[in-house]
Every structure is written in structure tokens, then in C-alpha cells.
Amino acid sequence: GRGSVSDSFLDTISLRDIPTILPALSPAEQEQLLAELDKLEELKAKKLAETRFLSFVRQMWPSFIGGRHHAKMADAFERVARGECKRLIINMPPRHTKSEFASYLLPAWFLGKYPGKKVIQTSHTAELAVGFGRKVRNLVDTEHYHKVFPELVLQADSKAAGRWNTSKGGDYFAIGVGGAVTGKGADLLIIDDPHSEQEAALAETNPDIYDKTYEWYTSGPRQRLQPGGSIIIVATRWSKRDLCAQVLKAAAQRGGDEWEVIEVPAILP
């Protein structure tokens, strides 16, 4: 009959059939079929954004222009999310979008996938860390984001920029290097640029600055990791005594954590 396109009919056709079938349908049937195809495209885009980090980035940030280093970061983040990589260091020069990826889009994507998990986000200053926390919170509270991750809903009474909870029992906590993390746990610990360029300049005459950061890391956030939790350090390298260097040295000397290191130099040899 020539009423409407039935669900069973839609279930039996493939996309290859569309050019053949379309001319034989009434205008109303064509409209319904095209609406169903639009819905299918939306579902495909949603599924891709859930599983592929770069697809999520492109949906949240339509003007994003990707490079090969972004694909490397995305692949590593996906392996962390799947539990295949537990310790990751990514070293890049400034202005390579590493903070937008690690401190903004990654926590939003990770908590969307796992709204019951806990994220601790750190940077070299509390102001910077809380600023990213505000961006993440604002993103996950948008209708655009909820089209991909409808299950992540902020808890109504816990929406501070640097610390907020999800309705599924997950939470996000932003902190500057040196700050206290008492009472917090982390399934994912993100350390984004633990040393600033200004701090690196001071460390030339006072290298103890690097030691203090490492002591804070080992006695603070590192101790807050949940069983099976992951750590990501994304940083520009300023010294052979910085946090990345000390973490890798300790791992080699004491047979501790095994780290994957991705290095992207400013100028490729």
C-alpha cells in the first residue's frame, strides 16, 4: 500500500537500495525515509564520538584543524580510556593544543563515557586548573554535549568550577601544583604542564623547584589513585630535572610504573 514507510520496511533495506527505491515512493514516504536517514546519521555520529576521541573533538569544536600529533594524542587517550595504557607522558612544545586536549576535552569525554568515575586535574597554578574545570563543567552542561553523552548530568548542589559531581557518583576536582588533595580519589589523574616557563627560568638558579613538584606528586595526587587508575602527564620539557624526568628516573631505578612516552619535538629531525 501507499500509506507511510513502515518500520519493518526500513529494517529490510540497505543504503545501496535508496536510489532505486526513492523514485517509487510518494513525496510523504520520501520525506519519512529521508528523516529516518537523518536519524541514522545522528546515531552514527553519536557512536563515533563516544568511542573515538577525535570524533568527539570535532563535534564539540567544529572549527578544529587537526594534525598528525593530534591523532597520536587521541589514540593514546583512547587506550587510556580502555584501560590498555595506565601511565602516559606526552611531551610537546607550547601552542600545540595539548592543554585544550588534555585539560578540557579529555576529562569531558572520559566522564561522558564513565560518569561514575573520578578525575583529578592539575596544572602549575590553581587558577589555571580551575579555569579548565570551569570550561569542562560548562561543556558537559550543554545540550550539544548531551546529544553524545545524555547520561552525564551534573549534581544540582555541586557545580563549583573546580570541583563538581555527577549524578552517577563521579566527580571532577581541579588543583594547582602544591595544593592539597585530601579526601579525593582519581580513576584518571591528569597533570598538565606542572612547570611554567617562568618557573623554569627561576629553576636555573634554584633547581629545588623541580624537587618540590616531584615531592608533591609522590605524596599527594599519586597517592590518591584508585585501584587500576591511570595517570597522564602532558608537558613541555624545560629541564632534565623536571617532573617527567624524575618520574621516569624513579621508574627505572626502582622498577616502578612502566610509562609510555610520546615525544613531539618543535622541529622534526
pLDDT tens string 215-243: 999 999 898 899 999 999 999 988 888 99
Q: Please choose, from the candidates 18, 16, 42, the residue with its C-alpha nearest in 3D space to the C-alpha of residue 5.
A: 18
**pLDDT score recorded for residue 26:** 81
DSSP 3-state assignment of 252?
helix
Alpha-carbon distance of 163 to 179, in angstroms, equals 14
**pLDDT score recorded for residue 3:** 47
* H helix or E strand, kind and range, residue 222: none
What does the pLDDT look like over 31-73, one tens digit per residue? 777 777 777 777 788 899 999 999 999 999 999 988 889 999 9
Judge whether residue 182 has pLDDT over 60.
yes
The C-alpha cell of 114 is what?
564513565
Sheet of strand 171-176, all strands in order from the earlier edge strand to the far edge: 154-160, 163-166, 171-176, 118-123, 186-192, 225-235, 87-91, 260-263
Q: State the average pLDDT over residues 172-190.
A: 90
Judge whether residue 170 has pLDDT over 70.
yes
- pLDDT band (50, 70, 90) for residue 1: very low
Alpha-carbon distance of 85 to 166, in angstroms, equals 25
Tell the burial category of 1 from Cβ atoms under 10 Å away from its Cβ (0-12, 13-18, 19+): exposed
What does the pLDDT look like over 91-116, one tens digit per residue? 998 777 788 999 999 999 999 999 99
**pLDDT score recorded for residue 225:** 92
Residues 6+ apart with CB under 8 A from 266: 93
The C-alpha cell of 152 is what?
552525564
* ∠ Cα 202 204 206 (to 5°): 65
The alpha-carbon radius of gyration of the chain (Å, integer) is: 23
What does the pLDDT look like over 135-156, one tens digit per residue? 999 999 999 999 999 999 998 8
Q: State the average pLDDT over residues 196-201.
A: 76
Q: State the average pLDDT over residues 181-202.
A: 85
Q: What is the DSSP letter of 103?
A: I
| Residue 174 contacts residue 141 (beta carbons within 8 Å) | no
**pLDDT score recorded for residue 262:** 93
Q: State the average pLDDT over residues 18-22.
A: 77
Residues forming a β-bridge with 120: 173, 189
**pLDDT score recorded for residue 116:** 95
Rounded to the nearest 10°, the torsion over CA 165, 44, 99, 184 is 20
Q: State the average pLDDT over residues 118-132.
A: 94
Mean of pLDDT over the chain? 87
Least confidently predicted of 12-26, 44-58, 156-170, 183-197:
12-26
Q: State the average pLDDT over residues 161-171.
A: 92
